[in-house]
Structure 1
Amino acid sequence: MNDGTTQTGPARARPLISTWGDGTATAARPVLIVHGSVDRSDTFRRVVDHLPGRPVLGYDRRGWGASRPLGGADVDFRVHVDDLRTALAESDVPPIVLGHSYGALVAMAAAAADPSRVAGIVAVEPPVRWLPWWPADDPWERTVREAAAEGGPEQATRAMLTELLGPASRLHLARTRPSDLAADGAALISEMTDPTVDAPAFDPLTFPLRTVVAAGSRSAAHHKEVARRLAELLPHGRFAEIPGAGHAAHVSHPQELAQLVHEIDMIEEQHR
């Protein structure tokens, strides 16, 4: 998979894909990371440190990080899925896809559409809104909605980061420019209010790939419940709770998350 910006359609640039880890390793199966909302691919570098000898690919989704200029009103869930499908189509070897939160939902939708291009999935707390265990009024969505109504996109980002990181958010917020917080808030509001996310993007009962659905033991109750229930529905699914982790397990518990990637790889090796 080559670094660079190409076109997926008329005048639509693609997110830049970077290779971390040992990009020259040909024997090890690659890993492709899809980050969640209010995030970027760089925050997974601690996970990469625990995946030695393995090429790891990552990109900033549209509206976030280096791909912020690629966001906009026309970018919805389906566009993010198309971006991932394009990245998968360019990989010589089907990778293990590690998706976090919104990115986990993108990963599962893209894998369901092109299962032969994916070796397995590690899905960390995917917000599967169409499952019956997802609350009608999600607390984080309510927090963002109320903060945006009070202070606009910048306030929405501040409120969400406080929910995600707790007291640790203070330093991050103090270091971040208000204009960047506002830009992230615009992307956050767009993703949380996107009606296409509410439509079923895959059928859990026929999902063909080996999947570990993970959740932190300290995460929101409905995130853990949905992750557990989803794993039970998947024909080749397993639920994994990460002890002591909250929603941002890739930051706080990178080694444990990397181990789940290794688990998928070991299972695949046994079935080759």
Structure 2
Amino acid sequence: MASAQAIEIHARGPGGLLEGTWQPASAGAPVVLIVPGSGPTDRDGNNPGGVAAGTYRLLADALGARGIASLRIDKRGMYGSRPAASDANAVTLGDYVDDVRAWIAAIRARDAAAPVWLLGHSEGGLVALAAAAGGMSDLAGLILAAVPGRPLGAVLREQLAANPANAVIMDEALAILARLEGGERVEAVSPVLLSLFRPEVQGFLISLMRVDPAALIAEVRAPVLILQGERDLQVGRADAEALHRANPASRLALLPEANHVFKAVAPDDRAANIAAYRDPGLPLAPGTVEAVAAVIEGAP
């Protein structure tokens, strides 16, 4: 099935309009709202920090070919959604949940009968979880792609410890994490840690650290797909399994070849794994589109 022409659409943000790309399908077809991952990740799944995989665009195109509509979005204050907020860093998890609600309203205005699925990637999965657990009774379902199953503090400690080069900064990093978990900001941060803990984003980090993904998913009553690549360097199979245990009614799909941006990579080749983050020409890993489409098409 050929995809219809994608168009830009808008939703109401706090200070101006949010912007996204709508990939339409037939009237009443399911719609997947794709919530982007951490940092300045755009609606296509790219990030100036070295990510150019185009994962969300590739997924939207593939779903469109199957008759499933999608909406992929720019975060408030960034890219096409720049007018929505004067400071893209001055956000909390709750702000992003508000934006998800605004986007769902925009979808309903276009097609009131369309079943709406939330797909959150990585950090975006925490936003999707918070939205779904917060009483969205009309949500068709939830798709969690490479989403941590533990609070952010635990994930960051593990990621920092996994790199031996971080040994010289671990004491400071752990001290900063402890203070952020306690709700305190930290003004003095060493340059080597600024990319992770710069003062401008600490309010957002504090809001994320209060979230227990397993507790949230246990509250979700809609159908849930947990999608996890087994060659993901950032979120592991144990996270996906923790989410599944917390909501045994969920469906767990493990993709043997997929990395964090759902590109197929060879085992035990970290350099090639990272290189795949920058390669928009690589297709999505086998099974990615099929797993997402199957849960949507199989929903009652």
Q: Structure 2-normalised TM-score?
A: 0.65
Q: Is the 8 A contact 1:81 1:109 kept in 2?
A: yes
2: CA distance, partners of 1:67 / 1:13 = 8
Q: Is the 8 A contact 1:122 1:213 kept in 2?
A: yes
Instruction: Report the AA paired with residue 59 of structure 1.
Output: I
Larger Rg: 2
Q: Which moved more, 1:64-73 or 1:222-231?
A: 64-73
Is residue 284 of structure 2 the alignment partner of residue 253 of structure 1?
yes
2: CA distance, partners of 1:108 / 1:62 = 19
Instruction: Quote the offset at 1:249 in angstroms.
Output: 0.9
Structure 1's 34 and 222: CA in aligned 2 closer, same or farther, altered over 3 A? closer
2: CA distance, partners of 1:19 / 1:107 = 18
1: CA distance, partners of 2:57 / 2:205 = 29
Instruction: Quote the offset at 1:64 in angstroms.
Output: 4.1
Picking from 111, 116, 121, the partner of 2:132 is: 111
Q: How many residues align?
A: 232
Instruction: Quote the offset at 1:192 in angstroms.
Output: 9.2
1:74-93 equivalences under 5 Å are 74-90=90-106, 91=108, 92=112, 93=114
1:129-208 equivalences under 5 Å are 129-130=150-151, 134-135=154-155, 137-139=157-159, 149-150=190-191, 156=195, 190=201, 194-200=205-211, 203-208=216-221
Structure 1's 261 and 193: CA in aligned 2 closer, same or farther, altered over 3 A? same
**Identical aligned pairs, as a percentage?**
24
Instruction: Quote the offset at 1:224 in angstroms.
Output: 2.0
Q: Is the 8 A contact 2:148 2:235 kept in 1?
A: no
Instruction: Quote the offset at 1:87 in angstroms.
Output: 1.3
2: CA distance, partners of 1:78 / 1:196 = 8
RMSD: 3.5
1:1-272 equivalences under 5 Å are 3-4=9-10, 6-8=12-14, 12-20=15-23, 23-38=24-39, 39-42=41-44, 43=54, 44-51=56-63, 52=65, 53-68=67-82, 70=85, 71-90=87-106, 91=108, 92=112, 93-130=114-151, 134-135=154-155, 137-139=157-159, 149-150=190-191, 156=195, 190=201, 194-200=205-211, 203-220=216-233, 223-249=236-262, 253=284, 256-268=287-299, 271=300
Which structure has greater helix proportion? 1
1: CA distance, partners of 2:223 / 2:143 = 9
SS of the equivalent of 1:194 reads: helix
Q: Is the 8 A contact 1:129 1:197 kept in 2?
A: no
SS of the equivalent of 2:33 reads: strand
Instruction: Quote the offset at 1:151 in angstroms.
Output: 5.3
Q: Is the 8 A contact 2:118 2:128 kept in 1?
A: yes
2: CA distance, partners of 1:96 / 1:3 = 18
Q: Point out where structure 2 has 5 or more consecutive residues left out of the alignment.
A: 1-6, 45-53, 174-188, 264-279
Q: Point out where structure 1 has 5 or more consecutive residues left out of the alignment.
A: 158-184
Instruction: Report the AA paired with residue 233 of structure 2.
Output: A
Instruction: Quote the offset at 1:31 in angstroms.
Output: 1.1
1: CA distance, partners of 2:142 / 2:246 = 15
Name the residue aligned to 1:162.
none
Q: Structure 1-normalised TM-score?
A: 0.71
